[in-house]
Amino acid sequence: DVKVTQSSRYLVKRTGEKVFLECVQDMDHENMFWYRQDPGLGLRLIYFSYDVKMKEKGDIPEGYSVSREKKERFSLILESASTNQTSMYLCASSLTDWDEQYFGPGTRLTVT
Amino acid sequence: QQQVKQSPQSLIVQKGGISIINCAYENTAFDYFPWYQQFPGKGPALLIAIRPDVSEKKEGRFTISFNKSAKQFSLHIMDSQPGDSATYFCAASEGGGSRLTFGEGTQLTVNP
């Protein structure tokens, strides 16, 4: 079974803090993704990576950056958290472009 | 601007009934249309997917109907069960599944 794990289920941070969200997959997948999920907006792609040290912007990259130093690990970074970044963050991975994406359980981030 | 519009936002169905969720898209280059199912506290999981070379795909009680000329696709759940109660997302992408654009989501409740 494919397993995508995220470092925290719940996180509370203050405005202006630097926030790291970690994601690890155990199936040697090429692609990894970060989404945010908001009620009424569905899932929106923030960044994705198709190889180590490679990244591409998604639909809403502003205020975020990512890091992929190892194939199995993909980090989402909020350089200076703001209240409008309060959301559910979902990580996903896929073997190749044409394979299904497997999602982690999500991290609910609250920025106060 | 939402490129994939999903309706209804919520749906209540009696056990044994048919659940129908609709999606419409704008980008005619989309060539992959998956549906994801999400239970509370879990990440989304692929339910069923279709490519535009067929008008219908069935897997058990779940069927995707696809209308290329109308740029619409829908999910039909036959003999709906309480265990089908979840949030359903349609999505679309072009050139593979890497860059999925999701609909807003539909919260389905199946009453016993």
CB B90 within 8 A of CB B73: yes
Which of B5, B27, B102 would you mutate first to test chain A, the one with the most A CBs within 10 A?
B102
Contact list, A92 vs chain B (CB under 8 Å): 43
Q: Which of A45, A99, A105 faces B100 most closely, judged by CB atoms?
A: A45
pLDDT tens digits along A62-97: 999 999 999 999 999 999 999 999 999 999 999 988
Q: Can you give the pLDDT at residue B13?
A: 98
pLDDT tens digits along B29-57: 999 999 999 999 999 999 999 998 899 99
Q: Is the predicted pLDDT of residue A109 greater than 60, yes or no?
A: yes
B56 contact A CB<8A: no
Domains observed in chain B: 4-111 (2.60.40.10)
Q: Enter the tokens of residue A2.
A: 């494919």
pLDDT band at B81 (very low <50, low <70, confident <90, very high): very high
pLDDT tens digits along A36-53: 999 999 999 999 999 998
Residue B16: partners with Cβ closer than 8 Å, 6 or more residues away: B79, B80
A48 contact B CB<8A: yes
Domains observed in chain A: 4-111 (2.60.40.10)
Q: Can you give the pLDDT at residue A98?
A: 79
